[in-house]
């Protein structure tokens, strides 16, 4: 059985938020074929929450598991990878170019703390599914009171 590599981290900061549009992003929105450098893209993702877990599903068809990186902290999940462009057909004119290629990175913040020691992931038919168990919030902790 092949495994998806999962790293555990403490904090990802605000890596994915506040990203400003570059000139390249503006031109790429007009034509997906326009690019100054290697393209980046954001795969579509769904997050589901049940009483006991958070489930993340990422649509990343065409990406080898070896080119995926998954990093988890108690409050966030980072998924990175890259998809190689398919060989072009000689003497062909593009009529539509919607498939995105290049590198991607997504950071998702959880609504609740996650148990980083209880995580599973699977990759089937182009979908990466990660199941994360929520930390129990109903645990009571006793605090010793020192003499003052």
> What is the pTM assigned to this prediction?
0.67
Write down the pLDDT at residue 30.
55
Is 147 within the bounds of a domain?
no
Number of domains into which the chain is organized: 1
- For residue 85, what pLDDT is reported? 87
Instruction: Please indicate, yes or no, if residue 148 is contained in any of the structural domains.
Output: no
Q: Is residue 33 part of a domain?
A: yes
Each residue's pLDDT tens digit, 46-86 = 999 999 999 999 999 999 888 899 999 999 999 999 998 88
Q: Is 139 inside any structural domain? A: no
Q: Please check the confidence at residue 5 and state whether its pLDDT lies above 50.
A: yes
Domain that holds residue 54: 6-87+95-134
Q: Is residue 31 part of a domain?
A: yes
Please indicate, yes or no, if residue 47 is contained in any of the structural domains.
yes
More confident call, 13 vs 108 = 108
What does pLDDT average to over the chain?
A: 80
The predicted-structure confidence for 15-31, as pLDDT tens digits, reads as follows 444 444 555 555 555 55
Q: What is the CATH number of the domain that holds 81?
A: 2.60.40.790
| DSSP codes, the chain | -----EEE-S--TTSSTTPPPPHHHHHHHH-TT--SS--EE---EEEEE-SSEEEEEEE-TT--GGGEEEEE-SSEEEEEEEEPPPPPPTT---S------EEEEEEEE-SS-EEEEEEEEEEETTEEEEEEEEPPS-----------
In a domain, 145, yes or no: no
Is residue 81 assigned to a domain? yes
Q: What is the pLDDT of residue 121?
A: 94
Segment among 11-15, 53-57, 122-126 with least mean pLDDT: 11-15
């Amino acid at each position: 059985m092949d495994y998806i590599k999962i790293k555990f981290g403490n904090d990802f900061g605000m890596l994915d938020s506040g990203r400003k549009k570059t000139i390249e992003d503006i031109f790429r929105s007009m034509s997906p074929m326009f690019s100054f450098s290697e393209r980046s893209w954001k795969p579509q993702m769904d997050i589901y929450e049940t009483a006991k877990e958070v489930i993340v599903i990422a649509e990343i068809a065409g990406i080898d598991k070896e080119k995926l990186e998954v990093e988890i902290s108690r409050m966030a999940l980072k998924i990175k990878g890259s998809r190689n462009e398919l060989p072009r057909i000689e003497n062909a004119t593009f009529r539509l170019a919607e498939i995105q290629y290049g590198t991607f990175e997504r950071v998702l913040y959880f609504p609740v703390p996650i148990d980083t020691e209880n995580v599973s992931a699977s990759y089937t038919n182009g979908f990466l599914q990660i199941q994360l168990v929520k930390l129990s919030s109903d645990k009571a902790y006793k605090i010793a009171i020192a003499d003052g």
